[in-house]
Structure 1
Amino acid sequence: MNTDVWNQPPEFAPRDLWHDDVALREALQREGGGAWQASVADYGALAGDRLYALGFDANRDRPRLRTHDRFGHRIDRVEFHPHYHALMDAAIGRGVAGLSWREPAHGVHVARAALSYLHHQAEAGTSCPLTMTHAAVPVLAREPRLQPWVDGIRACAYDPDDVPATHKRGLTVGMGMTERQGGSDVRSNLTRAMPLQADGEYLLQGHKWFFSAPMSDGFLVLAQAPGGLSCFLLPRWRPDGIRNAFRLMRLKDKLGDWANASSEVEFDDAWAVRIGDEGRGVSTILGMVMLTRLDCVLGAAAQMRMALAHAVHHARHRHAFGCALVAQPLMRNVLADLVLEAEAALALALRVARAVDAAPRDADEAAFARIATAIGKYWTCRRAPAVVNEAQECLGGAGYIEESILPRLYRQAPLNSIWEGSGNVQCLDVLRALAREPASGAVLRAELQAGAGRDDSYDIALAALLAEIDASTDPQTREFTARRLVERLALQLQAAVLLGAGNPLARMFCRSRLAGDHGLALGTLPAGRDTDIVLARALPD
């Protein structure tokens, strides 16, 4: 029997995800996060080695719900593979959830974004509780009595024990917004919040259709108080040391995101603390929306990057029809197109991270972050499934097998477009910002015009885009064509960032994405493009 194995690529990992990614190294410096380069570089090495390996077990052995212990006591506990906890410990300990608040300085949100981008490549499911924990801080900080919760996130310590928050080294936060009848329309929520005599304390009665990361220490939830829809922190344990009165009904059987748990929950006089005024729940929770949307953009970019890296790795080592796949012209076209998508996604994500970082100090950057997070979330999350699928095809059948990370990436890819507002919600939000927030429209226009004069294709597309924005149309028509407008805004923004950075791929991006020198599918770049330059940036040999 012939047992020789040949014409197979070596294992992808271990790899250094920081060293491999020239676009990330450039963007971290360009967008102001260079002071944390050493920490980001260390995490890139860890993510491409140990964390990458841990992710397979964390997804293979999915979370289990235990509603009762063996004596019949209600415990509502979710059990995870030990490698899930190891992933969470590594991420939280190195600042993926808390760096922005532990070391508040110019550029720290960019550094934290880079850490999140690296972590998501290794294991995406844990990014859900990490994102919510990070984004919860601006909301929690609105209520002085919740300062210990802010401190618990800033501690950058992971503590998986199911005990009261006061007994823990670090804290995590989940969310419960969505109900069966409402979906994105949270104003139709039916969960009721009944005030207690103590100021700001309530008992909650109701149900949540999606209760994310149910083993978190506390949850931000929306419920109808006497004064209208309001925001609350609902802890797992009450301050008196009694387990809070909510019941996990079941875990969701999701398409992807297998390492993480999502659940349905019932509240039966669950104790909670109001954050913000009654009736201002939506405006209160908006304090975290910009941050969670940014992480959706980062997650989509990370999925593209990891899929691209696997495709290039495979193509360099696999031979067919007499030569390596990477030497074959049509495969080079596909790979080069994937590089353009991945680099543009990352460039926009870290530009938005810079805006988020500067928002507290700079009104223009705050206005830009407000609209750019919605634009970026819509487009990059829309592109991720197509990019991952194209990368799978580069591997052929091997890319469809669970021993590869690509099936996991493909299952994960649609999630970011759904979570924190679907594509339609993002597009309507962009229209709302353009119509009602003059500052957002003005800074967006300035950002786009800053890219002018560097490329003819860019300039022609920009003139047409600005004319479309300025065109007077009725609201129905504007809404009907919102996706078309936001798509063009996203591509123009990506091109502006690439041009401003002097990226060697910028002109190719402009020709293909803005001038129409491209087909409907990936891998349809025209002849004459210098793919050597493109592929040299993709992955070191």
Structure 2
Amino acid sequence: MGAEVVMINTHEVENQVPAREGVDEFTSNVPLVEAVARWGRGGAEASARPEASAQAEASAQELARIGALVGSSAFQRDAERANTHPPVLQAFDRWGRRIDEVEYDDAYHRVIGAAVAAGAHTSAAAAPGPGANVDRAAAFLLFAQVEPGHACPVSMTHAAVPTLELAASGLRDEWMPRLLSRAYEPRLGGDGGGGGTTKQSALVGMAMTEKQGGSDVRANTTRAERRGGSGSSSGAASWGAEYGLTGHKWFCSAPMSDAFLVLAQAQHGLSCFFVPRVLPDGSRNVFRIQRLKDKLGNRSNASSEIELDGTTGWLIGEEGRGVATIVQMVTRTRLDCVIGSAAGMRQAVAEAAWHVRHRSAFGALLVDQPVMSAVVADLALESEAATLTAMRLARSYDEDADGAEQAFRRLATAVSKYWVCKRGAGHAAEALECLGGNGYTEAFPLARRYREQPLLAIWEGSGNVIALDVLRVLAREPEAFEAFFAEVGAAAGESPVFDAALAAARSLVRELSATDAASAAFLARELTERLALVLQGSLMLRYSPGGVADAFVRTRLGDEGGRQYGVLPRGADVAGILARA
């Protein structure tokens, strides 16, 4: 007889945190629920119509459906797979024909397909009205919270709508229904892709920056040469003036998209063009994807360098007015940078709060240990302020926004983009640390989030670009500052700390209005930071519970906070803050 085999069990797995799955990411996000109820379609401050309550209920139900979807284990697995199986460039087919296609994992298609089906791209344009942009922003936030890479083409399609409105009627009428569609069709169509021009939906990207210029798009060298007649080579006579574009774009986002807004130098200066991948006759446009960028994060989304060589494009707006034309798109993608950063902060807080409520150390749950609860509470304060900022900003983009609201959003978009996006990276790092070694591994989502957050501070203008934009507003659009301070000043008298910060911000604005350009530029970041903090402080004082608002104002606008997260004022309502996390 053989010797008896003894199985040795070295240990039981215990004190590990259960998977955070099966969570409704909408209803569990109290600040977001409150913001939608206040500013969303049918919300308390968005509509006084009789049918408003029914609209609000329908919106809440749809967002809860999305919240349950993105909180499911299946969606989370797809999010992970889309990032661990990144897109691959297929420059040629197997017979050697140039196709310039990007191949994605099926998980990515399921993620973006769900976002498009939910209207996270263009629902506000398809069914405009008070609160429409808030509901759309909430849906966008929920999807981006779990898988941020797909949000790039979703955002650009959303943002392309107002620019496409400036196109010739034939082009607009042909393409606008595709942008507003909730169908998702991954294949390009045309030669090599099948389907000709029958595709009924579309995603839109952009290609602005070049090697020599970066953010200085006026240094672009891509040329645009007018072709004789209208639609002379493409069969699209009603699409307006047709051009041939030649040049290299250093960053082209989401190159698998169906069309792009592109900046190029025409006879009368930098101009904006609509460049489809498939031409009206079903042939492929010249759009050579040279390589995909190897990025720090945002791995599920392809970014590329492209070569244009006589590529067909149609003028949008006027020649020489390219920046003014495409800025309609840029402004809304900046809005989505704010929303996306808020989404990342929410994921970070949710994962950290989940971990500390289930993990024990030194004889107690982490959440019951004051040093840890203070850190998570501080992270939650940042997340709530970012969510309020994003949703209030989205409300200012609704079609019923009056002149004051439009002036407010002109400044508030830049200010919020600068501050909220910059806070994202440090916030993710601190949240990751709450999970200890687990947080630093790719098996947990915060490692991916840590690599993701810096992108949104760069995309659509890094810090200096945005701060200088704020100075341009100060010099050219004083009404924007009037509208901004009218909004922010609604919280005056609620807190002496806030009142002092508001007075200091106003004083700095007066100082910079009277100083020379070089001195103003030196203080541009200080100005932008001060404006962002008084905006967030005002929103927190007006809309968050007293203990939450008090802790935020005293730490961010006063001198009772620390240089790192977790330094809260004595007597802060930590339990109340954590209850909302």
Q: TM-score range by the shorter chain?
A: over 0.9
Structure 1's consecutive aligned runs of 4 or more residues displaced over 4 angstroms after TM superposition are: none
Give CA-to-partner distance per residue, 1:24-81, whole Å, 9 cap, x none. Answer: 0000111233432221121111111132221000000010001111111111110000
- 1:350 matched residue in structure 2: 391
Superposition pairs for residues 76-155 of structure 1, below 5 Å?
Answer: 76-143=100-167, 144-146=169-171, 147-155=173-181
- 1:513 matched residue in structure 2: 556
Give the 3-state SS of the residue equivalent to 1:414 in structure 2.
Answer: helix
Equivalent pair of 2:15/2:360 in contact (CA under 8 Å): yes
Amino acid at match of 2:498: Y
Equivalent pair of 2:40/2:133 in contact (CA under 8 Å): no
Which of 2, 6, 17 is the aligned partner of 2:14? 6
Aligned: 1:232 with 2:273: yes
Give CA-to-partner distance per residue, 1:302-327, whole Å, 9 cap, x none. Answer: 10110111111111111111101111
Equivalent pair of 1:84/1:259 in contact (CA under 8 Å): yes
Which of 184, 198, 204 is the aligned partner of 1:167? 198
What is the count of residue pairs matched by the alignment?
537
Give CA-to-partner distance per residue, 1:247-273, whole Å, 9 cap, x none. Answer: 110000000000010110101111111
Equivalent pair of 1:276/1:284 in contact (CA under 8 Å): yes
Equivalent pair of 1:177/1:222 in contact (CA under 8 Å): yes
Equivalent pair of 2:197/2:278 in contact (CA under 8 Å): no
Deviation at 1:198, TM superposition (A): 2.4
CA distance in 2, matches of 1:370, 1:53: 39
Deviation at 1:227, TM superposition (A): 1.3
Equivalent pair of 2:551/2:569 in contact (CA under 8 Å): no
Give CA-to-partner distance per residue, 1:105-161, whole Å, 9 cap, x none. Answer: 211101000011101011000000000011001111111122221110111111111
- 2:293 matched residue in structure 1: 252
- 2:27 matched residue in structure 1: 19
CA distance in 2, matches of 1:227, 1:509: 50
CA distance in 2, matches of 1:487, 1:130: 29
CA distance in 1, matches of 2:154, 2:25: 20
- 1:532 matched residue in structure 2: 575
Aligned: 1:186 with 2:211: no
Amino acid at match of 1:337: D
- 2:450 matched residue in structure 1: 410
Which of 413, 427, 433 is the aligned partner of 2:467? 427
Give CA-to-partner distance per residue, 1:190-241, whole Å, 9 cap, x none. Answer: 0001111123101111110001100100010000111111000110011121
Amino acid at match of 1:303: G
TM-score by length of 2: 0.91
Which of 416, 422, 432 is the aligned partner of 1:376? 416
Give the 3-state SS of the residue equivalent to 2:275 in structure 1.
Answer: strand
Higher mean displacement: 488-497 or 360-369 = 360-369
- 2:313 matched residue in structure 1: 272
Deviation at 1:333, TM superposition (A): 1.0
Aligned: 1:75 with 2:99: yes
Structure 1 unmatched runs, 5+:
none
Amino acid at match of 1:212: S
Aligned: 1:44 with 2:67: yes
CA distance in 2, matches of 1:253, 1:311: 29
Give CA-to-partner distance per residue, 1:77-101, whole Å, 9 cap, x none. Answer: 1000001000111000110112012
CA distance in 1, matches of 2:444, 2:266: 48
Taking only the aligned residue pairs, the percentage that are identical comes to 49
Equivalent pair of 1:290/1:369 in contact (CA under 8 Å): no
Superposition pairs for residues 205-244 of structure 1, below 5 Å?
Answer: 205-244=246-285
Give the 3-state SS of the residue equivalent to 1:528 in structure 2.
Answer: coil
CA distance in 2, matches of 1:396, 1:361: 46
Give CA-to-partner distance per residue, 1:452-494, whole Å, 9 cap, x none. Answer: 0111111121112211211233221211011111111111100
Deviation at 1:502, TM superposition (A): 4.4
Deviation at 1:501, TM superposition (A): 1.4
- 2:494 matched residue in structure 1: 454
Higher mean displacement: 140-149 or 217-226 = 140-149
CA distance in 2, matches of 1:246, 1:462: 50
Q: Could you say what the CA RMSD is over the residues aligned between the two structures, in angstroms?
A: 1.2
CA distance in 2, matches of 1:502, 1:278: 47
Equivalent pair of 2:551/2:573 in contact (CA under 8 Å): no
Higher mean displacement: 193-202 or 210-219 = 193-202
Give the 3-state SS of the residue equivalent to 1:193 in structure 2.
Answer: strand
Amino acid at match of 1:490: A
Give CA-to-partner distance per residue, 1:393-436, whole Å, 9 cap, x none. Answer: 00110000001001110110000010001111111111111221
TM-score by length of 1: 0.98
Higher mean displacement: 237-246 or 179-188 = 237-246
- 2:6 matched residue in structure 1: none
Give the 3-state SS of the residue equivalent to 2:265 in structure 1.
Answer: strand
Superposition pairs for residues 27-42 of structure 1, below 5 Å?
Answer: 27-33=35-41, 34=43, 35=56, 36-42=59-65
Aligned: 1:500 with 2:542: yes
CA distance in 1, matches of 2:269, 2:515: 35
- 1:364 matched residue in structure 2: 404
- 1:479 matched residue in structure 2: 521
CA distance in 1, matches of 2:332, 2:157: 10
Amino acid at match of 1:290: T
CA distance in 1, matches of 2:486, 2:318: 36
